[in-house]
Amino acid sequence: MNVRARIIVAGMVQGVGFRWFTAREAQKLHLAGFARNLANGAVEVEAEGERGMVEELIAVLKVGPRAADVQDVQITWQQPLMERVRFEIR
């Protein structure tokens, strides 16, 4: 079953390659969506695809790349859009 999740990752997640890390992991899992920095220092991720793959991405984001310090991850499940075919960095 395909799902879409909006994920807000807070902590030291900007300037440490977090968006690139997210894109690489999402592409491995064949997910569509995006990752972008927010003005408050968090990173917003929207991931769409098979539920199990989205859950795997969320588990990886809770750890992040080596230089990151993830403090909080908030997830909002949404209906899939099926508009995107790839994962991009914004």
**Cα–Cα distance measured from residue 71 to residue 51, given in angstroms and rounded to the nearest whole number:** 24
Task: Tell me if residue 37 is catalytic.
Answer: yes
With a CB cutoff of 8 Å and minimum separation 6, the contacts of 71 are 10, 11, 12
Task: Tell me if residue 84 is catalytic.
Answer: no
**Cα–Cα distance measured from residue 71 to residue 32, given in angstroms and rounded to the nearest whole number:** 25
Strand partners, 45: 7, 35
Catalytic-labelled residue, pool 2, 24, 37, 51: 37
By annotation, the residues acting in catalysis are: 19, 37
